[in-house]
């Protein structure tokens, strides 16, 4: 699933391509929006909110989309070939005279009044890359359930918005604590919030995400996606396991030597 930095980059591309010009094409390919037409309306801006995208247009309307696991927005020039996937996977087309934005495999696409945006994003915690960022409020929300495992608390967008599976695992490693450690037992939890902000800020303008300061492809991340491979810090094989409530489990990666605390489920 795209994380906050990826969504931020997508919003920037869409904003640069669409904002300030009227739409000459509007094609929303979901049943409930089959009759909606934004043609002739000017795009006012595209705003990221956590992992959500809000495309605001004239007339007080917002097109809300969410990428979930494999959705994407691609931007093309007038004569450029579309390469985002098969034609039947297209869910939205927004075009002005200079650019065409195509939304592929979008699991969430809805049109609402701009004044009603809180209905879809009002539940989110402070946005790590947003103007509403408030580290004290993020910390308060994280610690509201002190018994909750750290990895699960970080993924909950109601605590702080923008962290996905990659940053969850990498943050736990950088703090040297297990993803299964209760959030209330994390030493100096304010460091957790500061590290989260620092990592997303550092990567929001990068094409390739890096948390280690290494440029080699196989050394850009400390533990994420490295099960069974040596920890880059101590050499112990990195472990992986599912974490989360039944039906909502997400893969978690950690070093059992570098990270103190409960070591997750016993390998089968």
Return the active site residues: 2-3, 51, 250
Backbone angles phi and psi of 98, in degrees to 5: -105, -30
**Helices and strands (H and E) in the chain: how many:** 6, 10
Closest to 254 measured CA to CA, from 196, 178, 192, 166: 178
C-alpha to C-alpha distance for 260 and 188, rounded to whole angstroms: 14
Q: Which residues contact 253 (CB under 8 A, 6 or more apart)?
A: 169, 223, 224, 225, 226, 227, 238, 239, 240
C-alpha to C-alpha distance for 201 and 209, rounded to whole angstroms: 11
Strand partners, 260: 177
**Cβ pair 190, 26 in contact under 8 A:** no
| C-alpha distance across the termini of the chain, in Å | 27
**Cβ pair 112, 39 in contact under 8 A:** no
C-alpha to C-alpha distance for 223 and 207, rounded to whole angstroms: 19
Backbone angles phi and psi of 9, in degrees to 5: -65, -40
Burial of 52 (0-12, 13-18, 19+ CB in 10 A): buried
- Give the strand order in the sheet containing 25-28: 25-28, 90-95, 100-104, 72-76
């Amino acid at each position: 699933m795209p994380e906050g930095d990826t969504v931020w980059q997508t919003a920037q591309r869409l904003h640069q391509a669409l904002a300030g010009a009227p739409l000459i094409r509007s094609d929303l390919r979901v049943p409930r929006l089959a009759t909606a037409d934004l043609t002739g309306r000017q795009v006012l801006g595209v705003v990221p909110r956590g992992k959500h995208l809000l495309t605001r247009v004239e007339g007080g309307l917002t097109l809300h989309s969410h990428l979930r696991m494999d959705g994407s927005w691609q931007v093309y020039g007038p004569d450029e070939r579309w390469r985002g996937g098969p034609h039947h996977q297209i869910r939205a087309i927004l075009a002005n005279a200079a650019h065409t934005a195509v939304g592929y495999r979008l699991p969430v696409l809805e049109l609402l009044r701009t004044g009603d945006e809180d209905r879809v994003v009002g539940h989110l915690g402070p946005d790590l890359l947003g103007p509403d960022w408030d580290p004290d409020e993020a910390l308060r929300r994280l610690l509201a359930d002190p018994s909750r495992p750290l990895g699960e608390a970080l993924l909950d967008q109601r605590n702080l918005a923008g962290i996905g599976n990659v940053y969850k695992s990498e943050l736990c490693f950088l703090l040297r604590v297990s993803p299964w450690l209760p959030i209330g037992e994390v030493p100096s939890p304010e460091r957790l919030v500061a590290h989260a902000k620092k990592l997303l800020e550092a990567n929001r303008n990068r094409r390739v995400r890096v948390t280690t300061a290494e440029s080699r492809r196989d050394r850009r991340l400390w533990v994420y996606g490295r099960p069974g491979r040596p920890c880059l810090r101590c050499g112990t094989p990195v472990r992986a396991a599912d974490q989360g409530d039944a039906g909502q489990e997400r893969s978690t990666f950690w070093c059992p030597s570098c990270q103190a605390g409960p070591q997750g489920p016993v390998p089968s």
